Structure formats: structure tokens, C-alpha cells
Amino acid sequence: MDIADFIEDLRQDEFYEDQIVSVKEIPRRSAVYGNPAEPIPPKLQEELSRLGIGKLYSHQAKAIDHIRNNKNIVVVTGTASGKSLCYNIPVLESVLEDRKNCSLYLFPTKALAQDQLRMLGQYKIPQLKPATYDGDTPTDERYWVRTNANTILSNPDMLHFGILPQHQKWGNFFLNLRFVIIDEMHSLRGVFGSNVANVIRRLRRICAHYGSSPQFILASATIANPKELAEKLTGLPVELVDNDGSPRGRKLFVFWNPPYLDPTCEKRKSSNMETTYLFSQLVRFGFKNITFSKSRKTAELVFRYAREELKDEGQLKDKISSYRAGYMAPERRKIEQELFSGRLLGVSSTNALELGIDVGSLDACVINGFPGTIASTWQQAGRAGRTRKSSLAVLVGQDNPLDQYYMANPRSFFGKPHEEAIIDSAIPSIFKKHLMCASYEIPLEEKDAQFFGKKGMEIVQEMVEKGDLIERKNRWFFTYHASPSRSLNIRSASQDTYSIVEVESGLLLGTIDTAMAFIYIHPGAVYLHRGDSYLVSHLDLEEKVAFVEQIGGEYYTQPRENTTIRILQEKKKRTIGKTIILWGDVETTTQVTAFQKKKVYSGEVLGVEELDLPEQKFETEAFWFVLSDGLLNKLQLKERELAGGIHAAEHATIALLPVYAMCDRWDIGGVSTPFHSQTGSPTVFIYDGFEGGIGITSRGFDLAEKLLASALAQVKSCNCKEGCPSCVHSPKCGNWNEPLDKKAAVKILQGILKK
């Protein structure tokens, strides 16, 4: 069956209730070829021909020319456009020239490194000695890799805590390091990207110590500021290559909006159930697909629902699987291989499979809810159609303001440029930790300003005064003996993880970030793994272990959080009309105090249980607006209307902020209060959900008028009367969306924006 026929079949199915709101055809594109200024060496050309690569695309040829001219480059082309050849060909040329030449490949995931190792293994070039070096590499193999491999495939995490602190063991490798490849660059944003930028500066410093200065080759999916991001990551000038010459097959991009549950138009059918239907239908018709969900729990639920739906249809239920971060390595590799081989027809995944792991040719991709950015949406959609045949992408709208904004305005999605990726390598809370790591690796000196800048040297002096560093003969040494890199998790503001252990078997099911632990694995929480439900019977706060027992899947849990904010420093101030908007540093204090048990499918609340968990605090950046007495006098809102109105306005503002900044609503938090002790007035805070902040709310402050206007338009245009998930309800609300007042929110936003 053709993809277009499949869509028509969906329209005729009894399940169909006009869910398709848009079908965008992305036409087929022919290839544009090119040749490097100097031909590929005969031996390498022979290998490329043997692998079926007779010609190079225009962007591949241009990238090779820049690299041969000693330029650092970033290649930004579509999914499956052959970006890996842009760096593999120079690497292979370098080892053919001299087998001592080394290269370091950095991928955001271990799976991508394994995938690239398989690709490099196809070349019959004896001078090439590739090997992975990451957390899955057995201890007894690591010595061989360090002393024999000239092409190391790793990730920023292992470079940070496993290679740089032990650089003495890698002296020969660093001496001969010719290329550093950073793939999937667009994933290096926020806290992760800000940390990686510092890891790269530490890498460059160690290379200089051993006498090398490697070229950097970066590859990325489409974002608005690739050159800027590449230069912020590396601290070096970079040439942009974006003349995509690769062909692509025809793609149909469908926007699928779940219908309303009842005539009041206040609640739509669950996007999880709609996604399960599409996932199951694709499997029934033999279309190989990945279905993406934004959270671990949702990916597991879709898999469980689909398994139940397909249980009476032969072997189909055995041809699907779930996949997400947190699974142990052998389990992930097995699922990847089964999808590649075709044994699996469908995988319900988080964005762990968003990146370019070669899982073979896929026919379709279903995206359960807008992923948070246009760039991520296209990246996920690009997983299908990696050959020249037709493919399908379906974006299923969730019942939240951002999704419904795009469902109502699909032209805005297809006509809108990709977002800018935001990083800041000089965030003090991050910068200080990496300076500690650098001083442990090699004592710091004044000349290191070339890597860490003037600001870095100023922070060094502060660290000396606090006793974190010791100064001797104009060099700065780390105070302690243990490597500080071990206590710095570069993917998170939180530096610890909790282990999740099944009581009966003693098996480690997975891990979870400490910052999210109390939300997902609090005592009494239902934790999902491979579609099965586990009850958290005990949470050991000291050892950071959650003990779980398998149970039936009749209910799930939703925690309640109390968050307060203390203003530390006001840095920027402006007004909209008579409303003051501020931006600066704040301290957030959050405590999970209770949880609801909710019935699976219906969402009916079965009960509430109290919790006694410690508070979690961190400092970050925020912008906030303070309602003036004049505005309050005009609005004449009652106490509950005011509380519900500012709470609803907070939700709507957070929901629309990703339209203006490359972030997810889960990257930002909010607090609204009818009286804040420091402002003396009703105040709404929007804060970065990461310690130290990463610039998201700074963008919100700069564009506050546009942001609030978009929030007002979305709330006003919603068909509901009292407020619903499409306008003011939030799936991440720690107060279970209480109280909320849609009408009061409209009045408040209109009052702020009125000149």
C-alpha cells in the first residue's frame, strides 16, 4: 500500500472523526553532485565505489575542500544527506597519509558511536584502527584502545570524566590528534551544550600541551544559528556548509488533531490513544515506523496500549517494542538491531532515537505532541524516508496551547524559520566547575586565557580566595586529590542519579536524574519500564536507590509540588504600559508534598496520598511581571479570581515561550502568587529550569510584549468557557491546575498590554 492510500484508508476507518487538519506534501528533490578541487586518493575512491558511493553531493565536496584548506567547518543539511562522509573521507585520507594520525569522534549518545563504528568497519583500509571508548567499553579492553586505536568514537561525557582527567595515558593520541568530529551539534544546547563548550576548551588546552591543534568538524540538523553555535562550542572561527545536494523522496506531513470528547469543546481525546491507534495501524499495514513521545512514561504507555490492541492479531504484538534512555546498554543495542533488521515493525520511543542512528529504512514517523522546537520536529520526521521512496510523518496535537497553536496555524509551522540554539559557556555555576577540572588536569596559568577568556581568569582569582585553588609561582592548582569531573554531570544541573532496582530479582531497571527523582520515583509512585508498571515501595535518600515491585497497570500517579521564589538580584527592568517587567537572579525552592492516583485511560482520580520529602533548592534566572495597584483597581478581581487569573496567565505564557526560544516547556518553570513578600504585589515569575540559567528567560524578557500578546491570543481563541488544556491547563503544573480562571487571565493580559 502507498502512503497516500494509507491516509485515505484512515479517513474511511470508523475511528476517524476529522482528525486530519492539514496534509503538507514535501516534494521529491533530485541530487546535486560536486567534485573536490583535488581528487580523492585512488585507494579511498576504490573503497567508496565498492560501497556503492560513485559520486559526492555538492555539500560533501565543499566540506572536503574547506577541511583540506585547514578550516574548521559545520555541515548543516537534512536528515540522511550523507553528513558522515563529510568527516569520514578526511579522516580516512589522513590515516592513508600517515597511520599515526588520530581522530576523535564525539556523539551525544553511545548508540550513535556504535552505529558509526559499524560504518567505519565497512572500509577495508588496514591503516584505520577505530574503536569505541565509552561507559560500555569493558575495563580490560580500554588499555588496548588507548594504545592501538587511531580513531576513537566516544561522547562528551566520557571525554569529560574518563579521558581528559587521565590525559597522561593518552599522550600519544593527543600528540597526533588531527580531527575532532562533533556530530548532532543541534542537540548540544541548554545546560548540556554549555557544559560541552567548556569540555571542548579543556580538550583544546590539553592538545596544546601535547603540541597539537586539531581541526573541528561539526555536523548538525537545521537550526537558525549553526555558525554561531559551532563557534560558541569550540571557541574558534568556523565555516558554514549548508548547500544540501542530497536527494529526498516525497514526504507527506500530516497534522492530526484529536477530536473533542464532548460538545462543550473543553477537552480533547487523549493524544496517547490517538497515537496508539496510528502506531497500531501502521504496524497492521506493514509500515515500519518509530513513534516518538516526549516523556519516558508516555512512550511506555503507548507501547503498553498498542501491545494490548494487537494481542489478538497473530504475532504483531511481538513486532513492537519500547525504547528510551535509562534502559541498560545491551537492551538498547538489541532493540536497535531488531529494528534495523526488520524483525520489529514499530518502536515507541522517547527522543533517544531522534538522532541519526541508522535503524534502516523507515516508512513512517508518528510524533506524539509537538517536541518543543521546530528543529526537533523536523529531526524526528526525518527519521522516516531515509531512502528515495515516499514516507509519512504525522504530528499528533496534544491538548496544550503550543500544540493547538500549530494545529490551528499549520502554515505558521511550515513557514517559520528554525529556532536559535541557546548556550552560555560562561555561566558561573558551570564555568567554575570546569575550571576546577582544568586545574586538576594541568595547573592553570595566565596563558590559559586563550581558552577560558578574561572572565575565566577573574573566576580563578575568586576560587583562590575561597580556597578552591592554590596559587604557587603564578600557577593555580586544584586543592583536592580526587578528580572533580566525577562529581560534575554535564547533561544536567543536578550532579547525581538515582538507581531503580526491582526488589524480587535485584535487577537494575534504569537510572533517573536526581532533579527529577522526586517527581517520578517518590514513595508510592508508579514507574513504567518496557510497558510494565512498578510500584516504588521504598526510596533510599541516602544511597539514592528506588526499590520497585511489579504491579498491575490499573492506575498511574501524578505528584504535587510547592514552589516558592526568592529574588536575589534585579538585572534588567522595563515597562509594558504601566506594568513593570524585570529579569534577574532568583532562588527556587521546590518540595513534592503529595501525589494523586489516577485511573489509566479515564484519568479518574482514585485517591490522594501525602508525602514527606526534602526541599530542593537552586539558583537560576527568571523574568517576572508585577501587577500595579492601578491595574488591580481597574480589574476589580476577587481574591480567587486574581489567584486563578495570574496562575492561568503564567501557564499560557510558559506554553508559548518555546515559539520564541529554542526550548521545551519542561525546560522552564513558573510561579504565580497574589502577594510576593519582596515585590509587595501580585507577581508572575517565569524561570529557567536549570541551575544558573541558560538564557531562555532572558529571551522571554526581551520579547515580553510579543510573548504576552501570543498568550492572550491563544487563550481568547480557545473554544472552551472555563479553561482547558488547549489554553491554560498545564501537564506539568505542580498544583494540579488549581486554581485557574480563564476569564480573569484574559482581563489581566489585556490590562497589561493596553497602552
Single-letter code of the amino acid located at 406: Y
Whether 358 has a pLDDT exceeding 60, the answer reads no
**How many alpha carbons fall within 13 Å on the CB side of residue 432?**
13
Work out the average pLDDT over 47-73: 97
**DSSP letters spanning 463-520:** HHHHTSEEEETTEEEESSSS-GGGG--TT-SS--EEEEEETTT--EEEEEEHHHHHHH
Note whether 547 and 634 are within 8 A (CB).
no
**DSSP letters spanning 40-70:** PPHHHHHHHHHTT--SEEHHHHHHHHHHHTT
**How many alpha carbons fall within 13 Å on the CB side of residue 418?**
19
Domain ranges of the chain: 33-241, 248-402, 428-487, 497-553, 561-753
Work out the average pLDDT over 627-651: 95
Work out the average pLDDT over 1-22: 94
The pLDDT tens digits of the residues spanning 141-188 come to 999 999 999 999 999 999 999 999 999 999 999 999 999 999 999 888
What is the distance between the alpha carbons of residues 748 and 644, in angstroms, rounded to a whole number? Answer: 11
Closest to 461 in 3D by CA, of 450, 476, 481, 480 = 476
pLDDT band at 494 (very low <50, low <70, confident <90, very high): low
pLDDT score, position 697 = 93
What is the distance between the alpha carbons of residues 438 and 473, in angstroms, rounded to a whole number? Answer: 18
Whether 416 has a pLDDT exceeding 70, the answer reads no
Whether 568 has a pLDDT exceeding 90, the answer reads yes
What is the distance between the alpha carbons of residues 222 and 719, in angstroms, rounded to a whole number? Answer: 35
What's the burial of 89, exposed, middle or buried (CB within 10 Å: 0-12/13-18/19+)? buried
Q: Give the phi and the psi of residue 26 in degrees, each rounded to 5.
A: -105, 110
pTM value is 0.77
Single-letter code of the amino acid located at 82: G
Whether 387 has a pLDDT exceeding 80, the answer reads no
pLDDT score, position 424 = 80
The C-alpha cell at 10 is 484512515
Whether 414 has a pLDDT exceeding 90, the answer reads no
pLDDT score, position 353 = 66
The pLDDT tens digits of the residues spanning 196-238 come to 999 999 999 999 999 999 999 999 987 888 999 999 999 999 9
What's the burial of 6, exposed, middle or buried (CB within 10 Å: 0-12/13-18/19+)? middle
> C-alpha 482: how far from its chain's center?
31
Work out the average pLDDT over 566-591: 95
pLDDT score, position 110 = 84
Q: Which helix (H) or strand (E) is 533 found in, with range? A: strand 532-540
> How much is the mean pLDDT over the chain?
90
pLDDT band at 630 (very low <50, low <70, confident <90, very high): very high
pLDDT band at 359 (very low <50, low <70, confident <90, very high): low
The separation between the first and the last C-alpha atoms of the chain, rounded to the nearest angstrom, is 58
Domains 33-241 and 248-402 share a fold: yes
The pLDDT tens digits of the residues spanning 305-318 come to 999 999 888 889 88
Whether 13 has a pLDDT exceeding 70, the answer reads yes
pLDDT score, position 422 = 76
Whether 383 has a pLDDT exceeding 80, the answer reads yes
Dihedral angle of Cα 572, 575, 576, 577, to the nearest 10 degrees:
180
The pLDDT tens digits of the residues spanning 420-467 come to 777 888 878 789 999 999 999 999 999 999 999 988 988 998 899 888
CATH of 248-402, one of 3.40.190.80, 3.40.50.300, 3.40.47.10, 3.30.1330.40: 3.40.50.300
Q: Which helix (H) or strand (E) is 564 found in, with range? A: strand 555-576
Note whether 367 and 395 are within 8 A (CB).
yes
What is the distance between the alpha carbons of residues 509 and 690, in angstroms, rounded to a whole number? Answer: 26
pLDDT score, position 652 = 94
Cis peptide before 226 (omega within 30 of 0): no
pLDDT score, position 426 = 81
CATH of 33-241, one of 3.40.50.300, 3.60.15.10, 3.30.360.10, 3.90.180.10: 3.40.50.300
> C-alpha 94: how far from its chain's center?
33
Work out the average pLDDT over 585-590: 95
Cα angle value 454/456/461 (rounded, 5°)? 100
pLDDT greater at residue 288 or residue 314: 288
pLDDT score, position 325 = 63
pLDDT score, position 360 = 58
pLDDT greater at residue 529 or residue 194: 194
The fraction of the chain above a pLDDT of 70, given in percent, is 96
pLDDT score, position 413 = 87
Work out the average pLDDT over 259-268: 79
pLDDT band at 534 (very low <50, low <70, confident <90, very high): very high
The fraction of the chain above a pLDDT of 90, given in percent, is 62
What is the distance between the alpha carbons of residues 749 and 452, in angstroms, rounded to a whole number? Answer: 43
pLDDT score, position 736 = 87
The C-alpha cell at 91 is 579522516
pLDDT score, position 624 = 98
The pLDDT tens digits of the residues spanning 642-679 come to 999 999 999 999 988 887 777 777 788 999 999 999 99
